[in-house]
Structures are given as structure tokens and as C-alpha cells.
Amino acid sequence: MAKLYFYYASMNAGKSSHLLQADFNYRERGMRTMLWTAALDSRSAGMVRSRIGLESEAQRFTPATDLWSTINAAHKVEPLDCVLVDEAQFLTPDQVWQLARLADEGGIPVLCYGLRTDFQGALFPGSAVLLGIADALVELKAVCHCGRKATMNLRVDAEGQAVRQEAQTEIGGNDRYVALCRRHFSAALAG
């Protein structure tokens, strides 16, 4: 039976490289995969890219993308063995349910990778639904500067100061976000 998986972590935990390794493992065995990433992330330009230099082409989803119809149509033409979704925090709740349907009715394993929380510690809507309905939850680990597990994403400005109030989503990498343990995250927001 196919399952819906959610691999989640803070920034810099290797989510994209883990996705690309899983994709490689399927393809090395002659299996067919389909990769997706958020169109919102303008840095990706239709690619899943890891910070360690791995990359692969991917379909791009927007909030209007009907993942069930699009993926199911492709699956009918040439069967898919796995669907992999990067930046899964940007999925809508309906899209998460569509991916669950692909696993349940289509028999296609779906591996989603994304952030659990935003820069204020709040769940992203897509992540909230994935945490609620995924068959398997896997936390990938990042490390805070103190050596503890990093679970939070601190947004910083150009001077490296904590940002406390802005829109939930702002695309950026190491220039805009720092992965921290909860203790150092809370201290940065308080300071």
C-alpha cells in the first residue's frame, strides 16, 4: 500500500538533498518519478536544488495547481513509481488531500519535504495538514550554533537582526534565515 510521507525540518537540514537522493534511488532501479517544487520560490526556476550542489528538474505548483488531476493523468500515460514534492509547506490544504488521494487511490507513494514552521514558530497551512494526515512523519535534523537540534527558522534582516513582524512567506536562504534551537530562537526574538 502506498503512503503519504512528510519529511520536515528547519532550514539547512538537507531536505532537498534527501529528496534528490530518494529520487536517484528510484531512478537507479529503473523506476519513474515525478518531482514538484513551489513556483513561489523564484530561486528554483523549475529545479529542486540542494545547498550541497545537487539538482534536478521539477514541475512547479501554484495554489491553483490540481495535483490530483495532473499527476493522475501522467500516471495513466506512463505509470509513476513515486511522486516527490519539495517546499511542501507551500501546498494548500486541498493539495495535501489531493496527494493523499494519489497514495490511497492511485497507489503512488508520495514523499513531501518541507518546513514545519515559519519564522514566528507558526505552522504553515500545508505543513499543518501534512502533520495531521501523513502516514509517516520523519524529522530531519539540523544543528543550532550551540550544538542542539535546530527546530526553528529565525528570519533576519540585512544586518542580521531578528525580524519579528512581516508576511509569513518570504523566499530566502542563509541570507534571510538562521536555523536555531527553540532557546536561541526565543532569545533572538526577545532581544
- Domain positions in the chain are 4-141
Q: Is the pLDDT of residue 140 over 80?
A: yes
What pLDDT was estimated at residue 60? 95
Q: Is the pLDDT of residue 54 over 80?
A: no
pLDDT over 60 (residue 172): no
Contact between 54 and 102 under an 8 Å Cβ cutoff? The reply is no
**pLDDT value of residue 171:** 59
Measured N-to-C along each axis, helices 67-77 and 93-104 cross at an angle, to the nearest 10 degrees, of 30
Q: Specify the amino acid at residue 95.
A: Q
| Cα–Cα dist 49/164, whole Å | 28
CA angle 143, 163, 42 (to 5 degrees): 80
- Tell me what the pLDDT averaged over the chain comes to: 89
pTM over 0.75: yes
The residue annotated as part of the active site, out of 28, 87, 105, 166, is 87
pLDDT of residue 40: 79
Average pLDDT over residues 106-116: 96
Q: Comparing 88 with 155, which gets the higher pLDDT?
A: 88
Query: 139 an active-site residue?
Result: no
4-141 CATH fold:
Rossmann fold (3.40.50)
**Per-residue pLDDT, 70:** 98
Q: How far is CA 120 from CA 35, 116, 143, 162, in A?
A: 29, 11, 19, 10
Amino acid at 107: G
